[in-house]
Amino acid sequence: MDVLGILAQHGDDPALPRDVTHWIFFSTAADRERYQSIARDLGYSIHEYDREHTERPHALAITRNQSIRPAEIDSAVLELFRLAKQSNAEYDGWEAQAISVTSS
């Protein structure tokens, strides 16, 4: 809910669709590959990243165009969080650009 509050402060209209990016971190490349296959089936575009010297060096940024109405974003987050737990991963949150009625 913190992200929604910040976006609201910037005049965001949560009903307007926009790209929403979620971050997930993995200990192994194999866990990341399994997750990204499922995420693709859910309609997400996938971007892989590798980071050195971390406990979870394999990362995904997955993006889908959607609204950020509380029920819709909560549903997406819960689904991705549960998938992360099943994949030995850490779901790290989401981000999106503020979009107001005047800027759409």
pLDDT (tens place) for every residue of the chain, 104 residues total = 588 888 888 889 999 999 999 999 999 999 999 999 999 999 999 998 888 888 899 999 999 999 999 999 999 999 999 999 999 999 999 999 999 876 54
Q: Structural domain boundaries of the chain? A: 2-103
Give the count of alpha carbons within 13 A of 58, CB side only: 16
Helical spans, DSSP H, in 2-69? 2-9, 29-41
Predicted pLDDT at 86: 95
Question: In the CATH scheme, what is the homologous superfamily, with its name and number, of domain 2-103?
Answer: RraB-like (3.30.70.970)
pTM of the entire predicted model: 0.89
Predicted pLDDT at 53: 82
